[in-house]
Amino acid sequence: MENLKGSNNSWGLVAKLFHWIVAIFILLQIFFGINLHFMNPSSTKGDLIHYHKIFGTLIILVIFLRLAWKFYNPSPSHNKLSFLHKIGSKIVHILLYLLIIILPIQGMFLTWAAGSDVLLLGLIKLPRLMRRIYLMRNT
């Protein structure tokens, strides 16, 4: 069986699971988003929006768990890579993480701006930051 933690030679099983879970959720979000764009208003579209929001909050939750795991576990050695390859890889990873974090947050702000609530995993109501920001600007 594969090690749960990473080593100098390989990513661990937990890191690989985080990677593929986030990848599948992002692909689902793309599928939902493309279909939502072409759908007329209906109950099916409302259901799809609901699932889109659930997966968006799930992505941000999983990505924060993944980052916590990444900081507390070893990653494979990159000694054999060229300097440019290492720098390029680091930049691409940082940009991907930023996008994966910023996009769900943007969706949350758009949901609040529309006057709706954001539910973490469809269950836990998150505080309405948009109203607080609006009230702070107008006081």
Residue pLDDT, tens place only, 87-139: 999 999 999 999 999 998 898 888 888 888 888 877 888 777 765 555 555 55
Give the domain ranges of the chain.
13-137
Cα diameter, the chain: 60
* DSSP β-bridge partners for residue 108: none
| SS3 label, residue 139 | coil
Alpha carbon 132 to chain centroid, angstroms: 24
The encoded tokens of residue 105 equal 């947050």
The encoded tokens of residue 21 equal 């879970």
CA distance 71 to 92: 18
* DSSP β-bridge partners for residue 125: 119
Is residue 83 within a helix (H) or strand (E), and if so which, with residue range?
Answer: helix 83-113
Residue pLDDT, tens place only, 37-65: 899 999 989 888 888 888 888 999 999 99
